[in-house]
Amino acid sequence: MSACGLRAEEGGTIIPTNTATRIADPPPNIHATSEAVMVTRTPKATLEPHLSPEYWQEWPIIPTVMPTMKTVYKQGIEIGNNPAVFIKIGDGEISTVWFLTQYDLEPANYHLGSHTDLLPVINQFSGSFGRVGLAAGRGYNTSIILGLVPVGTPGCEPGESRLACEIRTTRPAFALISLGTNQVWQPGIFETEYRLIVESLLESRVVPILATKADNLEGDHQINQIITRIAYDYNLPLWNFWLAVQPLPEQGLQADREHLTYAYSDFSNLTKFLYAWPWRNLTALQVLDAVYRAVTYPRGDEN
């Protein structure tokens, strides 16, 4: 099974993603108008406690952040974690240059439109948006991430896992986790190893941010149910990306029902919001902003 996000194949056109410059839009494969999508929706975090996992489709796009995460964050800072760093853990949809990379370029390379309130979080995590470390890559799954690094990997110790080396050498305060598409036929292994990833992060006092996936290749949403159950069990913030793309044409998926529809993430151009990638980048920034504010500001002073 292919990993998501490293290229688009639309109308037979392959878009290369091995450069950090502005990426041109591929030929559109969706015939719709801007009225077909809720382009004005700006999801906000809620203060309600988590719904139970079986109601995961009703969890908010931008997560409720439990007080325990503030404790994890504070303890992490005390042991030397960097409050200005997040790492990416996952497959092609998080390792691709399309995901957040533009926010490590000069401001002329991105357009926030009405979302200038996200400038502080862009400044806060400068340097993390374009970085892809050892725990993310095309085709990655939980087993690869927990597997040993190749012999001779710079900065890593013999017998160290990709995840352990990434945490030790980067000392992040936060971790974005986007996994599941490559293990839709291995739900048992996926859940067991995903929990190990979460526990490794928590042991290092890194705040994990879990993401649901847009596709349903398994047919019964079992992977998203597992992800939400883990978020529930550990009181972790969940980025419900699945919900963000439901109003889009074809739920934001290409004809293969796996890869996200692409448009450059120009938030000042409403027609771009007919496609999934602008929503992915916008909601990722909103999630980072909401989680960072929740763990660093006294309760009630987040705004």
State residue 49's pLDDT score.
55
Domains of the chain as residue ranges with CATH: 60-296 (3.40.50.1110)
Rounded to whole angstroms, what are the CA distances from 200 to 23, 51, 172, 238, 243? 35, 25, 13, 18, 28
44-82 as b/e: b if 16+ CB within 10 A: ebeeeebeebeebeebbbbbbbbeebbebbeebeeeebe
Closest CA to 62 of 201, 221, 244: 244
Token reading at 124: 């806060």
Give the pLDDT score at 64: 86
pLDDT along the chain (303 residues), means of 10: 36 29 36 38 44 93 94 98 98 97 95 97 98 97 97 94 98 98 97 98 98 98 97 97 98 97 97 98 98 84 44
Look at the chain and count its residues: 303
Helices (H), 66-112: 67-78, 92-95
> Could you count the other beta carbons within 10 Å of the beta carbon of residue 104?
17
Q: How many helices (H) and strands (E) does the chain have?
A: 9, 6
Give dist(CA 123, CA 146) in Å, integer.
31
Say what the pTM is. 0.85
What single letter denotes the amino acid at residue 67? P
In whole angstroms, what is the distance from residue 30 CA to residue 33 CA? 9
What was the pLDDT predicted at 297?
A: 83
End-to-end CA distance of the chain: 43
Q: Token match 């993310």: residue?
A: 136
Residue 51 pLDDT: 82
CB 79 within 8 A of CB 65: no
What pLDDT sits at residue 41?
37
User: What is the signed CA dihedral for 115, 88, 28, 221, rounded to 10 degrees?
Assistant: -100
Round to whole Å and give the CA distance between 131 and 86. Answer: 9
